[in-house]
Amino acid sequence: MTKTRKVKQPTMFLALLPILTMVLSLSFGYVFFELPPEPLIILSTIVAGIVAIYLGYSYQDILDSVSGKIAKTMPAIMILIIVGLMIGAWMVGGTIPMMIYYGLKIINPQFLLITAFIVTAIVSVCTGTSWGSAGTIGVAFMGVGAGMDANLAAVAGAVVAGAYFGDKLSPLSDTTNIAALATGVNLYEHIAHLLYTTLPSFIVAAVVYVIAGLNSSGANVEIPEKVGVITDTLHSVFQWNILLIVPILIVLIGSIWKKPTIPVMLFSAIFAMGNALVFQGFSLNDVVTSVVNGFNLSMINVAGFDPNTVIEDIPKLLNRGGMNSMMGTLLICFCAITFAGTISVTKSLDLIINKMLKFARSTGSLIVTTIVTGLTMIGVTSNGQISILMPGEMLRESYIKRGVHPKTLGRTIEDSATIIEPILPWTAAGAYMAGTLGVATVDYLPWAVLCWTGIIFATLWGFTGFGIAKLTPAEQQQMSDELEETEDHPNKIAN
């Protein structure tokens, strides 16, 4: 006979204690003292565990909950690892360098803002890195702007907006993958759903940049030497041909046909590795090293090329990728999942969410609640990954119960956390962009149009119903069953 144990219901104070511990520890430890976030999350997990045991739950209950959460998210974690592999393959195969090369070639100083926006967006989508795009291509555009005496705050805003357009939509982006992981949604389905708010924001931003450009002096100047150096270097060490875009087409076609994510990405990576061996002249050892540890300029064996003499922008742009590059992101994910698994034992999140959702009587107010949660998390913790994982964990069940697809949750979290982070001066992203581009965050904020219009469209669609994915009764029942299955424990507990 199964033993029945008595447990207590958490009070609001006990329910909030682990979350307050995490928020405060990240606020002071991570933001002010620059401590790594992982041990701070573990500290919060310990507090959550103490609360659970105080309420009558066993250590085994906690382990069962954590292991259930990890098992459920394992496919998404595998995708993160494959993304690192694919970036390394695309880099060594020449796919990403070719996209950067042709992106830089289309610079037109007469349309600086819109060009900076679009080219940075293209590079960011292809590379999956907002920081890398802004720190290389973005810096080049700042040089163009300085040369033509342009509004540097506007140029910086266009660069940041373009960089985070890619950070939001690229299948190579860690935040995009984490949002899909947190909400339990297929990666490509998540990206497709992002278009409902991201595409209108992109159009509004583009219109603003075109109008601002047409109303500027529009002085015609030469492209800075740095841009020419980057394109000349890329052209000298890589061989361009039409087959280099096939890895991208594989991912796009796989997404459109809704094929399984991991096999599609692996097929794309294998094709890119073939390009590296056949067209780029890299050895098998270099190719394997690139997909495991990331691409490095030292692998290039072209007559007259010395990796130690290139300008610093080139290694910043190219030295990346590999499965090991995702380990830091995965560590944060595991820590956050462990915290979520521990706090879910006591149903503390249910208590907190039920209080919050008393004010959310419609889909629109549910979206607003999500936006407020995302803004609060990113504003307080200054960590984009945690600000995606925690609201996803907290609100997913509420969305399912109300018949709203979790991919709408994932989209709203990205609108209120991922692309808001670089326009907050105290976040790491805000500080990086300001330092890299040489413009204060508050100065480029109004011009980073895409970053703040997302929440406007998210709210508008929430109250009008446009772009809000609903669950069919069968889907709702299936997702509800999956949630219950994850939360089941071997030990029967009576309240």
Phi, psi of 470 (to 5 degrees): -100, 150
Residue 382 pLDDT? 67
Could you tell me if residue 68 is inside a domain?
A: no
Q: What angle do CA 154, 155, 156 make, to 5 degrees?
A: 90
In the predicted model, what is the mean pLDDT of residues 35-48?
89
268: tokens are 């794309």
3-state secondary structure 195-237: HHHHHHHHHHHHHHHHHHHHCCCCCCCCCCHHHHHHHHHHHHH
Residue of 299, 307, 306 lying closest to 282 (CA atoms): 299
Residue whose C-alpha is closest to residue 290's, from 319, 322, 315: 322
Contact 405, 184 (CB under 8 A): no
Q: Let me know if residue 236 belongs to a domain.
A: yes
pTM of this structure: 0.75
Establish if 356 belongs to a structural domain.
no
For residue 45, the model assigns a pLDDT of: 92
Question: DSSP letter string over 240-277?
Answer: --GGGGHHHHHHHHHHHTT--HHHHHHHHHHHHHHHHH
In a domain? residue 475 = no
Taking the CA atoms of the chain, what radius of gyration do you get in angstroms? 23
In whole angstroms, what separates CA 399 from the centre of its chain?
Answer: 21
Band (3; pLDDT cuts 50, 70, 90)? low
In the prediction, which pLDDT does 304 show? 81
List, for residues 222-239, the tens digit of each pLDDT value: 566 777 888 899 999 999
Question: 57: how many CB neighbours lie within 10 A of its CB?
Answer: 22
Mean model confidence pLDDT for the chain: 85
CA angle 353–54–66, rounded 5-degree value: 60
Are residues 340 and 392 in contact, defined by beta-carbon separation less than 8 angstroms?
no
Token pair of 30 as six digits: 């991570």
The pLDDT score that the predictor gives to residue 221 is 52
User: Any residues with CB less than 8 A from the CB of 443 and at least 6 apart, and which?
Assistant: 153, 156
Backbone angles phi, psi at 6, to 5 degrees: -90, 135
175 in Cβ contact with 385 (< 8 Å): yes
Percent of the chain with pLDDT over 90: 36
Judged against a pLDDT cut of 80, whether residue 151 lies above it is answered with: yes
Is 148 within the bounds of a domain?
A: yes
Number of independent structural domains in the chain? 1
The number of angstroms, rounded, from the C-alpha of 83 to the middle of its chain's C-alpha atoms is 12
Residue 255 lies in a domain: yes
Mean pLDDT over 117-124 rounds to 89
CA distances from 495 to 63, 125, 158 (A): 20, 50, 55
Instruction: Of 419, 333, 320, give the one whose Cα is nearest residue 378.
Output: 419
Report yes or no: 277 and 93 within 8 Å, Cβ to Cβ.
no
- On the question of pLDDT at 431 being above 90, the answer is no
Whether residue 267 contacts residue 89, with contact meaning beta carbons closer than 8 Å, is answered with no
d(CA 443, CA 7) in angstroms, rounded, equals 53
Looking at the chain, the whole-number percentage of residues with pLDDT higher than 70 is 92
CB 321 within 8 A of CB 236: no
How many angstroms separate the CA atoms of 128 and 164, rounded?
Answer: 9
Q: Is residue 87 part of a domain?
A: yes
How many angstroms separate the Cα of 442 from the Cα of each of 136, 141, 423?
21, 19, 7
- 148: pLDDT confidence band, cut at 50, 70 and 90? low
Query: Domain range for residue 242?
Result: 76-326
Q: Is residue 119 part of a domain?
A: yes
* Helix-, strand-, coil-residue percentages of the chain, each rounded to 5: 75, 0, 20
Please, which residues have CB within 8 angstroms of residue 70's CB and are 6 or more apart in sequence? 334, 337, 338, 341
Buried/exposed 317-326: b ≥16 CB within 10 Å, e otherwise: bbbbbbbebb
